[in-house]
């Protein structure tokens, strides 16, 4: 298990991975971590930083636009990324998507040579972009993303097919057009066809391995 505190050494290399809902960005992020190795890549998901809705009724929580930037606790997220960049550990919230509240649990994340921040709005906030050494946008066709989201939310988040489609039309698609798609212009790398683009993913893996190797052996 990697140490929870690394007071010395170079700052982590931070990669921001954005893209539309169910574009494959989460899969890409976790492939980086799983392929390079535990302890060398830490993944932080924006989905963990939704505001706690426990002070609202279930009906009120269901009406929140969770694809809007205001749904996220940006101060906490930015604070955590800043701590990780300074080689300090953090405790990331655990969000209960079935009830739209934060769990009492926390997920400890240790500082690592590479920090991956992933989410639909990972490139939206200027302050977060400025903390990223590499900005990636994972692209995929809208129909593919909708089908993937439908399968995921029904299987993993306790939603009905009708609920997923209604939410997609009411908030997900409008937010994508307004807030997510425009952030593509900030990306250093665009990955077409989502996580199915093996060449693009392989290139990212090469880069991450080089960064990790450089952190472990800074003098060559």
Asked if residue 120 belongs to a domain, the reply is: yes
Each residue's pLDDT, cut to its tens digit, for the chain (220 residues) gives 344 444 456 889 999 999 999 899 989 998 888 877 668 999 999 999 999 888 888 788 777 888 999 999 999 999 999 999 999 999 999 998 878 888 889 999 999 999 999 999 999 999 999 999 999 999 989 999 999 989 988 888 888 899 889 889 988 999 999 999 999 999 999 998 877 788 888 888 898 888 888 776 666 5
* pLDDT value of position 38: 66
CA gap 175, 147 in Å, rounded = 18
Asked if residue 122 belongs to a domain, the reply is: yes
Asked if residue 165 belongs to a domain, the reply is: yes
- Encoding tokens for residue 109? 């994340």
Burial (CB count <10 Å: 0-12, 13-18, 19+), residue 156: exposed
Q: How many domains does the chain have?
A: 1
CA gap 80, 183 in Å, rounded = 22
Q: How far is CA 162 from CA 143, 155, 202, in A?
A: 16, 14, 37
* Count of beta carbons in the 10 Å neighbourhood of residue 208: 24
Asked if residue 218 belongs to a domain, the reply is: no
CATH number at residue 72: 3.40.50.300
CA gap 19, 194 in Å, rounded = 9
Asked if residue 212 belongs to a domain, the reply is: no
Asked if residue 220 belongs to a domain, the reply is: no
Asked if residue 194 belongs to a domain, the reply is: yes
The parent domain of residue 72 ranges over 13-205
Mapped to the 3 state alphabet, what secondary structure does 177-205 carry? HHHHHHHHHHCCEEECCHHHCHHHHHHHH
Asked if residue 219 belongs to a domain, the reply is: no
* pLDDT value of position 130: 96
């Amino acid at each position: 298990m990697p140490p929870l505190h690394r007071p010395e050494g170079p700052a982590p290399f931070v990669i921001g991975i954005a893209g539309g809902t169910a574009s494959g960005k989460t899969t890409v992020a976790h492939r980086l971590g799983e392929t390079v190795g535990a302890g060398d890549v830490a993944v932080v998901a924006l989905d963990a930083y939704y505001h706690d809705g426990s002070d609202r009724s279930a009906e009120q929580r269901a009406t929140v636009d969770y694809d809007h930037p205001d749904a996220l606790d940006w101060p906490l997220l930015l604070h955590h990324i800043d701590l990780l960049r300074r080689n300090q550990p953090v405790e990331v919230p655990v969000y209960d998507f079935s009830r739209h509240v934060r769990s009492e649990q926390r997920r400890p994340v240790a500082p690592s040579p590479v920090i991956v921040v992933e989410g639909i709005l990972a490139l939206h906030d200027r302050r977060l972009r400025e903390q990223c050494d590499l900005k990636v946008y994972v692209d995929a066709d809208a129909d593919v993303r909708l089908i993937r989201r439908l399968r995921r939310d029904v299987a993993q988040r306790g939603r009905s097919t009708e609920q997923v489609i209604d939410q997609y039309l009411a908030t997900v698609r409008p937010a994508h057009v307004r807030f997510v798609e425009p952030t593509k212009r900030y990306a250093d790398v665009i990955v077409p066809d989502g996580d199915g683009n093996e060449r693009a993913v392989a290139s990212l893996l090469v880069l991450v391995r080089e960064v990790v190797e450089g952190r472990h052996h800074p003098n060559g």
